[in-house]
Structure 1
Amino acid sequence: MERAITIQHGTIELKATLHYPTIPPQDAEKQGGQCPLIVICHGFIGSRIGVDRLFVNASRKFAAAGYMVLRFDYAGCGESTGEYGEHGLDSMIEQTRVVLDYALDIDYVDINRVALLGHSLGGAVALLTAAQDRRVKTLLLWSAVAHPFNDLLRIVGQKTYDDAVRYGEADYMGYPLRPAFFESLSAHQPFAQIRKFAGDVFLAHGTSDSVIPADYCSLYQKLFWMRSAGQCDIELIFQADHTFSSGDSKRDLYDKTLQWLEYNEKRKRDWHNWEI
């Protein structure tokens, strides 16, 4: 079952879709009637639908595997009100935490199994949120941005940035980008926040990504492994582009993500039961 909802964030209405898990009753009983949660964070000027329905299909796949999934539009994107990037990444982090507040208020969500799934810039936002919010136990990062300012500048072009600085606003594909947005990109460095997150991480990247370098994936993994706690695994999707646009790429991405989630749950149970 899917339900369209609105989450209030100050004067902004964040439009979202909630996917309820469709698991057999015996499996629900094994989990004490509670289910794990995945909150999806879309990328730069994206939406909760995703390019070629990336997040719609993912949510339905995860829900069929027993997950509660919540995908939402950041302010100024999709159906949400407000202006995109008006208050920069700080606002996006706060919006993500407000969405977590809503989701974790659902009775049958397991507060010990909460994952943020972020794609592209949403991957950076997910990591920055998890570094501040201990309710997040797991990160699923797809084609994640590593250097917000440089990566976004490469996407929008130098002229867009120069116009924003010179005129106080620049149009990019119909979205008004202001200097404050670019300043916030410079102020946040995901790599510097990695040590603040002690949970487990799954990284996926397409080998043919021409937007965000696939090399970021292995660099992220190295830095996550330098932490004192938490696991990190990587999956490179052969010939996949930035948005995993082909059917094979999507299926591979969804399957690998779900396989890792199941493997990680088993790994945690095995370690929990292990005693010296």
Structure 2
Amino acid sequence: MPTEGVTGANKGIGYEIVKALCQRYNGHVYLTARNAIKGNAAACKLRKLGLYPIFHQLDIGDEESIKKFRDYITKHEGGIDLLFNNAGVSFNECTQAYAKEAENVINVNYFGTLHAVEILGPILRYGARIINTSSFFGHLSNIPSSSLRNRLAARSLTVDGLCHLMNEYLSDVRNGVHVTKGWGDSPYTVSKVGVAALTIVLQRMFDNDPEKRQISVNSVHPGYTQTDLTGNMGTYTAEEGARSALFAGLDAEGLRGQFVWDNLAIIDWYAATPPKSF
């Protein structure tokens, strides 16, 4: 039986991805969330609609939590066919603890996504698809420094090298020099650029591994969506915001290391400017 897992799925885009998977996909759909009460409530809400996701607690900011999910899936399902890395946090601009808040955003959005792929990677089945939720702000052009952009875009970049860059950013934040160093003033932007860069680096790794070259990994921009992350402001409903992830996970063929925009176009992550968002 095919198995799909969606992180950060108790509300918003993640919830709508689970809902659509239950409607369209013949398999076991795992709705995961950091908060067990909220996750179970979301699963119950879907069951009232005649849909039957399986809830499992998962906090991508906690490696032990990811390992518990991996062990459960290994025992009960044997593997994963679709992994939607949707969990993420925004940056609280009102906080006075800028450096601490920036560290949380990078740790969850970038390192949490990385750890989910690393820990769940061994149980990805042949032909599995990974879909990483990035953002409009995840386009490379949103990093002001051309030197940093070149380092992020380097064809020789490895996971270790990318992690070094993310930690370098956090060090610059702690020292109060991140803006002058050319990172910009948005930890959320840096985290989502990191996710998009990670997507490309991971695909390169998979392509060079005979045992994993059938696995694809792509990132998506949901669009300006009405969720808690945007203060419920936005052009799209959460259901509409799930379209790009579902397209990459279910509909598109042959995508490998690509960035799917909110209009379902495949865009050039390296371009000098991002395309317009619809």
Class of the TM-score when normalised by the shorter of the 2 chains? 0.3 to 0.5
- What TM-score, normalized to structure 2? 0.43
Greater strand share, structure number: 1
